Amino acid sequence: MSPLFPFSDRARALDAQLAAFMAERVLPAEAEVQAWQQDPATRWTVCPRIEALKAEAKAAGLWNLFLPDTTHGAGLSNLDYAPLAERMGRVPWASEVFNCNAPDTGNMELLAHFGTPEQKARWLEPLLRGEIRSAFAMTEPEVASSDATNIALSIRREGDHYVLDGRKWWITGAGDPRCRVLIVMGVTTPEAGPHARHAMVLVPMDSPGLGVVRPLQAFGFDDAPGGHVELEFRNVRVPVENLVGGEGQGFALAQARLGPGRIHHCMRLIGMAQRALEMMVARAQHRIAFGKPLGTQGIVQEAIALSRCEIEQARLLTLDAAAQLDAKGNKGAKDAIGMIKIVAPRMACAVIDRAIQVHGAAGLADPFLSAAYTGARCLRLADGPDEVHLAALAKGMLKGPGA
């Protein structure tokens, strides 16, 4: 934990507890989970070892740590949660062990803040207990979804129902057999302005007319069992009570949901990059090339030193963004969140790439490094591509202070 930021005593205690759980329970399970997820007979089913770890974590009080709401979550600030999320990021599936995995976290936050009592009882409570999974359906194949005002899936009202027609893709988690509900963004009021024509509705996965078009792969990874899928909505009908918030509020809800989600991704990326650096150092210490350890080569020393500098820079920027989010809210912290969303994925890509290079051919086959690089590269697009965040940051600066 950084001495520059005032973490609470409770956060420090939870961090120590989480560190021990990761070392004693999660890391020793990696090989078993990897074998399960690579076996064609089991990979699209729920891994029993992860489920057992979830039960242990829940019993230990390491559960729903991401939610600052004391009614539903651990009551930690975003700053206090940052080092915990970083530790979880060291293992790609570890966040699920503590019920802190995307996209469920963002969906739970959205329902906690904007859901009706009935929506919370039906969907939020089982999500909080880790009994079901969910997905967030925003991105579409036919429009540039980096501009959320382009989202075009039709949500029209017919009596007591909304009817959905359209396609979504790269819907993370929708392939999981436990996924029971989607939060879907679409157009309810096409005649309204670009920021007031959208809404979000809850769509059960077993709704008639909802179908999986195909699973999608990123660099050959399909991230079973959650996966990333393309979905088709053909006259999918849901009760009007499934509306989240109100008609025309979809864009605002998306921004509210994505703020904490973006920073959580960055927290986890730092843990991922830190592990890659540690692997790089170990490889440089023990691998002999041209009669000497790799670590004696200046170019390898540079890779190690640059990586540490970049991780520390990203970590401090992430902690500052978390502190600003706590103090100012989503809108007040938007520049800080935008900056870390630009910086952290690029940093992680660079560090992991160096780790792969230092490992040589072994780096290409290493299950952690290859998956980590893919995940980091994907996050340069997820929750808004770099270019959108760069443009928004620059435009705010060009308007001048106080604009």
CA distances from 381 to 98, 248, 306, 376 (A): 26, 26, 24, 9
CA distance 119 to 186: 19
- φ, ψ of residue 134 to 5 degrees: the values are -145, 175
* 281-310 per-position pLDDT tens digit: 999 999 999 999 999 999 999 999 999 999
* Averaged pLDDT, 243-262: 89
CA distance 3 to 342: 25
* 68-98 per-position pLDDT tens digit: 988 888 999 999 999 999 999 999 999 999 9
CA distance 320 to 310: 15
Beta carbons of 124 and 118 less than 8 angstroms apart = no
* 177-197 per-position pLDDT tens digit: 999 999 999 999 999 999 999
Beta carbons of 107 and 120 less than 8 angstroms apart = no
* 197-216 per-position pLDDT tens digit: 999 999 999 999 999 999 99
* Averaged pLDDT, 169-183: 97
DSSP assignments along 201-219, one per residue: EEEETT-TTEEEEEEE-BT
CA distances from 21 to 28, 53, 96, 123, 272 (A): 10, 10, 14, 29, 17
Is the confidence at residue 376, as pLDDT, over 70?
A: yes
CA quadruple 237, 243, 248, 251: dihedral positive or negative?
negative
Cα atoms in the 13 Å half-sphere on the side-chain side of 130? 23
| Residue 309 CA from chain centroid, whole number | 24
Across the chain, mean pLDDT equals 95
The neighbour count for residue 191, using CB atoms within 10 Å, is: 7
What are the structural domains, with CATH classification, of the chain?
Answer: 9-115 (1.10.540.10), 133-244 (2.40.110.10), 251-398 (1.20.140.10)
**% of the chain with per-residue pLDDT over 90:** 91
Residues in CB range of 87: below 8 A, 6 or more apart: 15, 18, 19, 22, 94, 271
pLDDT at residue 210, rounded to an integer = 98
CA distances from 246 to 80, 156, 168 (A): 32, 13, 21
pLDDT at residue 257, rounded to an integer = 84
Q: Report how many helices (DSSP H) and strands (DSSP E) the chain contains, helices first.
A: 14, 10
The neighbour count for residue 348, using CB atoms within 10 Å, is: 31
pLDDT at residue 258, rounded to an integer = 76
Beta carbons of 360 and 303 less than 8 angstroms apart = no
- The owner of tokens 């023990």 is 286
* Averaged pLDDT, 15-27: 98
pLDDT at residue 21, rounded to an integer = 98
CA distances from 253 to 215, 349, 374 (A): 27, 30, 28
Is the confidence at residue 1, as pLDDT, over 90?
A: no
* Averaged pLDDT, 110-123: 96
pLDDT at residue 256, rounded to an integer = 83
- What SS3 class is residue 384? coil
pLDDT at residue 260, rounded to an integer = 83
Cα atoms in the 13 Å half-sphere on the side-chain side of 88? 27
DSSP assignments along 110-136, one per residue: HHHHH--HHHIIIIIHHHHTTS-EEEE
Beta carbons of 118 and 241 less than 8 angstroms apart = yes
CA quadruple 224, 89, 100, 54: dihedral positive or negative?
positive
pLDDT at residue 177, rounded to an integer = 95
pLDDT at residue 71, rounded to an integer = 85
* Averaged pLDDT, 36-61: 96
Would you put residue 293 in left (φ > 0), alpha (ψ -120 to 50) or beta?
beta
* Averaged pLDDT, 40-49: 96
DSSP assignments along 298-309, one per residue: HHHHHHHHHHHH
| Residue 68 CA from chain centroid, whole number | 17
* Averaged pLDDT, 3-21: 93
CA distance 310 to 108: 32
Say whether pTM exceeds 0.75.
yes
